[in-house]
Structure 1
């Protein structure tokens, strides 16, 4: 409790490690909240939870509650899963895909991710998972970062088309992106402009928490 109170004055790091896949992972008390950070950005809770919460609100909580199966690509500490379960009261299936097992170990230890009864965690590369899963989903959340870098495959038409093929009718994709320079601005503009729009609607929620842009894709048929 004292650490939580003092964190309003100065952030207090309580755990720090490195894994084979992540440069640095920290668990920190900041402004009275326990967060997970990489070397240069927030990975879970804190600003990231606010960003994805805004995206879920944009889709609509009432639409999410009756959904049967949600896929989360990029779990980290599991803040968006906590939003779904604890705030939205979502009770359907959640499958979380995370490439770094060390991050899941931390999420279980500090954020009680393993106590989420309707969650199944898959330790696997998101690209590989998407290629082989036969399951259709109502909502797919894409939140994949390596520190501040986003893998190029996320913006390639092959991956986008494959993810869209996994959506049920009237399903949604919530894609969190980071914009740190003009090249990344242009990358997102190209992604939205060239998106295959037959049976889908695409829109953006720009400049969330300064450096993030959310892309929302809806399957309308």
Structure 2
């Protein structure tokens, strides 16, 4: 409790661990809340949770609560799962895919990820998972970073087409991207053109300074 109160004055680090995929991971009390950070960015809760919460609001809480299945690619400490379960009271099935077992270890110990019902966490590469799964989903959240870097495959046609195939009609993709320079902005503009008229694509720029969100609805 003392550390939590002190965190309103300055961040209080309580745990850190090296990770094969994310280099250094840190659990910190910040303004009264526990957050998970990598070396250069917020991984879960904190600003990242605010970003994804805005994205869910853009789609609509009432609409999401009518969904039956959600796929989350990039779980980290589970902030979007916490939002879905605690804020939206989502009752459907959530499947979370995370490549880094160290992150899930931290998520269970410090953020209570393993306490949520009807949530399946899969330790796997997101690209490999979407190739193997036979499930279809009403909402697919893509939130994949290695520190401040986004893997190139997220923006390639093969991955995009596979994600589109896994999405039910009238379902949504929520894609969180990071914009650090002009090249990133051009990448996002190119990404927006990769969807046919069977999809409604909306881009929300400058969310928490460096993030741009896509919401993509499958119309047919």
- The TM-score bracket by the shorter chain reads over 0.9
Query: How far has the Cα of 1:169 moved from its partner?
Result: 1.0
Gaps of 5+ in 1: none
TM-score for the superposition, normalised by structure 2: 0.99
- Say if 2:58 is the partner of 1:52: no
Q: Distance in 1 between matches of 2:197 and 2:136?
A: 19
Q: Distance in 1 between matches of 2:20 and 2:207?
A: 30
Query: How far has the Cα of 1:196 moved from its partner?
Result: 2.3
Give the total of aligned pairs. 220
Q: Give a deviation string over 1:137-185, Cα, whole Å, max 9, x none.
A: 0000000000000000000011011101101110000000000001001
Q: Give a deviation string over 1:11-48, Cα, whole Å, max 9, x none.
A: 00000000222211000000111000000000000000
Runs of 4+ in 1 over 4 A off after TM superposition: none
- Correspondence for 1:208: 207
- Correspondence for 1:3: 3
- Written as runs of structure 1 = structure 2, the 5 A alignment for 1:1-221 is 1-192=1-192, 194-221=193-220
Q: Distance in 1 between matches of 2:169 and 2:136?
A: 9
SS state of the match for residue 169, structure 2?
A: strand
Q: Distance in 1 between matches of 2:58 and 2:195?
A: 22
SS state of the match for residue 120, structure 2?
A: strand
Q: How well do the aligned residues superpose, as a CA RMSD in angstroms?
A: 0.6
Q: Distance in 2 between matches of 1:196 and 1:59?
A: 18
SS state of the match for residue 23, structure 2?
A: coil
SS state of the match for residue 19, structure 2?
A: coil
TM-score for the superposition, normalised by structure 1: 0.98
